[in-house]
A = this chain, B = another copy of it.
């Protein structure tokens, strides 16, 4: 894990990005580029920094791979954004009638029944990927191979080496790739970071997350349950990394496995430099408070639903962050907050970036490394990790 620390450093991240942008520009004339990126090169990047009142505002054309309830929430979130900025231009569903029904409902002009056909569609700039976790990596490769930018639900990959290969490909092709840790793009997170940066909390030394629901199926030997670490740890770990902005020095793990050897309780402690720590409690056996606290030497922030907080208790007052309203409800609670991530992806793409600084490639690599370590330490029988046939998909 130590070798990641250099990558994770923000200064090095910036250097690396500049290098890759120039690489992308050199490659441009030979590449089959999407309209957005081609014009970006012709007109110079500075005109593409997107401000709220700036014109022209480039429209990002999204492909959905595949249609499912997560994708529906994604589309619902885009409805809160200006249509001249985002448009769903293509979708993929294995069954034609389902794909057509989705397309009808959301006015999507291009409908495909295979991922390959969607990848080849010239009317798509970026693809939103949300299928089975173990297939994320393969689909990201496919889309990058066809010069599509990618926003992929977490986990990006099931093994660290896969993240490295994927990131290498995205950078070499000058394409944007982001793991969908949408919490990072919320205004409430931005607010917290700025308050911490202004030392309003003093020195932060303790982050505590509690995440638990009583799941009736989790205790059975059903292979359908992936375990609390695979399912929820990322939501907590991302918060800890966001607060401390460094790689943890040690990881301590305790927990309980069900009959099938899958973790249903996990207590994870991440130790950072100078005796600072994050304690993450996960349970599929009982409902926990689902709140997080960030303690500093001067003050403390308490937040509800920390993956999408709408209320921060801080400095003896409440700070409210309302999410945009939509006509349709999202399937998953608060998921309309994805709109900030969607706009972040657009801004990065228009600026020719291959990664977002809100959740960058190094963090994706660190995340899979940590999750792997934790499941190993708990001796979890992980049925969900499967080495992909990388040769077949590159």
Contact = CB atoms under 8 A, between A and B. Distances in A.
Interface of A: 66, 94-98, 100-101, 113-117, 131-132, 135, 138-139, 142, 216-217, 220, 388-389, 392-393
A60 to B, nearest CB: 26
A103 to B, nearest CB: 11
A389 B113 contact: no
Contacts of A114: 94, 113-114, 116-117
Contacts of A95: 115, 131-132, 135, 138-139
A132 B94 CA distance: 11
Contacts of A393: 96-97
A30 to B, nearest CB: 26
A392 B115 contact: no
A96 B389 CA distance: 10
A217 B218 CA distance: 11
18 contacts: A94-B114, A94-B115, A95-B131, A96-B115, A96-B116, A96-B392, A97-B138, A97-B388, A97-B389, A97-B392, A97-B393, A98-B135, A100-B389, A100-B392, A113-B116, A114-B114, A114-B117, A216-B217
Contacts of A96: 115-116, 138, 142, 392-393
Nearest to A386: B97
Nearest to A66: B94
Nearest to A132: B95
A59 to B, nearest CB: 28
A196 B370 CA distance: 66
A101 B94 CA distance: 19
Given A94-B94, A95-B131, 13 more contacts: A95-B115, A95-B132, A95-B135, A96-B115, A96-B116, A96-B138, A96-B392, A97-B135, A97-B392, A100-B389, A100-B392, A114-B114, A216-B217
Nearest to A95: B135
With a 10 A CB-CB cut-off, give which of A95, A98, A100, A135 has the most chain B CB atoms.
Answer: A95
Nearest to A135: B95
Contacts of A388: 97
